[in-house]
Amino acid sequence: MGKQRVIVFLPAYNEEESIGQVIKNIPRHFHHQVELKVLVIDDGSQDHTVHVAKEAGADYIVSFEKNRGLGAAVRAGLKESYERGADIAVMIDADGEYPSSQIPDLLAPIFKGEADYTMGSRFLGTINGMKLHRRLGNYFFTFVQSLLLRRWIFDGQSGMRAFTREALEHAEIVHDYNYAQVLTLNLVRKGFRVKEVPILYQVRSTGESFITFKGYLSSVIPAIWKEVNRPVQKVKIDVNAHRLKNMDAYKSYGNKRNNVFIENRN
């Protein structure tokens, strides 16, 4: 097997203050069989997001003329990653809340053949600074997903996820405002195996979130209803498509700037 091509894509809207550090913290060389590239989906930013991303080392940038919404940006990221030949794609928010240094941890279950779709779980890991109303909102919508999927999900709103090529091909997002709930519902209903990975989460210190309570009520709940009531077909999945040899002998090792899979020969 040749190198596996991983594309990390960041949906971004006016994130000039944070996107540079997120990109710089992405580990590029954590496994000798992995080639990693960075893609930014600029959702009509009106600041210097694009310039900062280029300076930080983004390999590809796709820009919308106007803001379309996070769901539309993630949909574009999935499509662009697939068309650019990604074997695996990773999505991470550009606001600095999610640890890009932990991308190898997110990929490990896929490389071991244990999952087709992974999510970085804040509630299985460590959360710093999340306000009570946001925590309760996360609990509520995660509980709704768990009921609909008939399996327990710990963090249904995570902004850090990884997808196999088959998941990229078949993933659908039915609205433009957001993606979090409907994407997981869509993939799990199609038979893709999901696994959550504990991560370290730090609430953003710069910029502003677009998420509003009104927006969730008017957009997300109808989209969930639409997704669970439309027919989907099960996908025949190649569970060994991305398996790397000797992954059971590897451990994730690193600090906030660099993660490496190191083979344990003892």
Task: Say which CATH class 4-237 falls into.
Answer: alpha beta
pLDDT at 17 over 60: yes
pLDDT at 249 over 90: no
Helix 221-228 to helix 180-189 angle, to the nearest 10 degrees? 10
The string of pLDDT tens digits covering residues 99-155 is: 999 999 999 999 999 999 999 999 999 888 787 777 888 788 888 888 998 999 999
- pLDDT bucket at 254, cuts 50 / 70 / 90: very low
- pLDDT bucket at 253, cuts 50 / 70 / 90: very low
The string of pLDDT tens digits covering residues 183-211 is: 999 999 999 999 999 999 988 666 565 66
Q: What is the mean pLDDT of residues 59-69?
A: 97
Query: Looking at residue 255, what is its pLDDT?
Result: 42
Q: What is the mean pLDDT of residues 251-257?
A: 46
Query: Looking at residue 221, what is its pLDDT?
Result: 85
pLDDT at 266 over 80: no
Q: What is the mean pLDDT of residues 226-243?
A: 94
Listed in sequence order, the residues at least 6 apart from 1 whose beta carbon sits closer than 8 Å to its beta carbon are: 33
Query: Looking at residue 220, what is its pLDDT?
Result: 83
Query: Looking at residue 256, what is its pLDDT?
Result: 43
